[in-house]
Structure 1
């Protein structure tokens, strides 16, 4: 995989990374031995960017990445997130004391002295406007506890607010064939500020894999069962905020665009990589085969103008009215 630059961090990272939410929890049953095999397979295939958070399995996802580092000699970048441990999750909780405590806990989980990248984990919108929050993060960089920081956001407007701060290095945002607003309203500004874009939920919680059906059953602890209407966290995190039935209809419209020999998921990932502002897409994976399938997307040839227009048409016809005004 041809590496891409991660904004002002300067790190060169694989365009397909590893999203470690699934191996932490809220995606059904996981097995540590299988999860570790998937992590090892990712390194074998050239993945060098792993995204996690302190709340994925209450730190278990971070601990698995610490074990991977102990078992392998290759260097890799880990981006973690902080803030969602707050209970209640309020803007006031994003203060110097709590942020330092979150960082120190993640350092312990990851077995590191310095974090590669810390991201605010979808805080209340007002947090992105607070100078004291960025000052606290600057202090943690100056103190050697982390090398860089960025934000994980729900909305384009939150991202545009955050990147006005000169030391925000990255924005992690939902970007996929069902979420085109970032390309239309964020990417040019991010490029100007030298901010790396990390595309999360790239397969729309599995909808863009093409494997889900109307009668697909999800486990009790799978957010695709319990958060379809935002019962537990932002609704946009589940199926990118798209109504499930509409998403299935959109998938059928996309299938004819997929090149021979590729899967719909690989096509969806390659579509994301057509945008040079994207540093990395971070599909989740729980098995070595899923990792192999994801990384193969980077080897697909560039999509044609016809394919790109086809995705745009599906979005405009079926998806735009549902999601564009909200995120």
Structure 2
């Protein structure tokens, strides 16, 4: 498994990171033998980083990781990143929520610290609808201050955030210099994080985000690289939860996926491999977080990563599709 620099953390991260989330769900929805086999298969292939969150399966992802990590000798254990989703209506101070969430995560993970601890809530100019206000993140006594304290206490090595919500607010967070990493929405259906302008694309814009991360030397974890599975397969599993403003129309997502995949062509691998290789073609991305439903999906992703990034002719074909907004109206 090839590695890439992880921003200013000084770490090298595998190009493919094991996603422990709800959508893929191999660490949540399967039996223990399957979970263990997937976990060890990933480690054997050099995927030594697992990204999880307190909310994934109401802690089940973290509990599974904690059990499986304890079965390994110390020098074989993967690095772990986890996240806190704050209850913004609870009336409880955010710093207290963040601390409690990390302490509970560490208990489930059976660890004394994690390599990376991240804010999970989308960011916006004002708090509401699950989004946290920019001032609540960067202001005095806010999330960044709370995360700094946890890092100073040795409960995490680095701090990051999920760059969802309002793009301008996310860029402000990047440019604040307070965070080491960002999780960025980036796939063949919405490549805007890598663009200066959205052009013809009628999707939520994250334009300028990857450039901001590069300027400020943030490590970038690309998320939703398979668009909740729409790019990887025609089979629907009922967990295609939208995380962008335009992602709720599953039929529209499927049409965009068909146009993008047709443009790239099967000579560049399976659907999932084409989607992964697209993300790996972006040099501003440190790693792609890949959600898995079964062990075969891991093997498919590993083979796709081994093929390397998509070549320029395939990327040019995709740009033509984006310029037509995925042949919208055709």
Normalised by the size of structure 2, how large is the TM-score?
0.83
SS in 1 for 2:230: helix
24 and 303 in structure 1: CA distance in 2 versus 1, 3 angstrom threshold: closer
Q: 1:137 aligns with which of 133, 141, 147?
A: 147
User: What stretches of structure 1 of length at least 5 have no aligned partner?
Assistant: 229-233, 322-327
Deviation at 1:97, TM superposition (A): 1.4
Higher relative contact order, chain-length normalized (CA < 8 Å, sep 6+): 1
* 1:124-176 Cα deviation digits (max 9, x unpaired): 24133434221111111111111111001314323212112323011002110
Deviation at 1:262, TM superposition (A): 1.3
Whether 1:204 and 2:227 are equivalent positions in the alignment is yes
Q: 2:252 aligns with which of 246, 250, 262?
A: 246
- Partner in structure 1 of residue 201 of structure 2: none
Q: Is the 8 A contact 1:113 1:145 kept in 2?
A: yes
Deviation at 1:271, TM superposition (A): 0.7
113 and 146 in structure 1: CA distance in 2 versus 1, 3 angstrom threshold: same
Partners of 2:327 and 2:145 lie apart in 1 by: 37
- Partner in structure 1 of residue 16 of structure 2: 16
- Partner in structure 1 of residue 80 of structure 2: 78
Whether 1:223 and 2:246 are equivalent positions in the alignment is no
261 and 148 in structure 1: CA distance in 2 versus 1, 3 angstrom threshold: closer
Q: CA RMSD in A?
A: 2.6
Normalised by the size of structure 1, how large is the TM-score?
0.83
Q: Is the 8 A contact 2:276 2:304 kept in 1?
A: yes
Deviation at 1:320, TM superposition (A): 11
Whether 1:165 and 2:176 are equivalent positions in the alignment is yes
Q: Is the 8 A contact 2:24 2:291 kept in 1?
A: no
150 and 217 in structure 1: CA distance in 2 versus 1, 3 angstrom threshold: closer
* 1:31-46 mapped onto 2 (5 Å cutoff): 31-46=31-46
Q: Is the 8 A contact 2:28 2:57 kept in 1?
A: no
Task: Give the number of aligned pairs.
Answer: 301
- Partner in structure 2 of residue 325 of structure 1: none
User: What stretches of structure 2 of length at least 5 have no aligned partner?
Assistant: 123-130, 196-207
Give every structure 1 segment of 4 or more consecutive aligned residues whose post-TM-superposition deviation is greater than 4 Å: 23-29, 91-94
* 1:95-134 mapped onto 2 (5 Å cutoff): 95-123=94-122, 124-126=131-133, 127-132=136-141, 133-134=143-144
Deviation at 1:293, TM superposition (A): 0.8
Deviation at 1:11, TM superposition (A): 1.6
- Partner in structure 1 of residue 315 of structure 2: 308
Partners of 2:106 and 2:301 lie apart in 1 by: 28
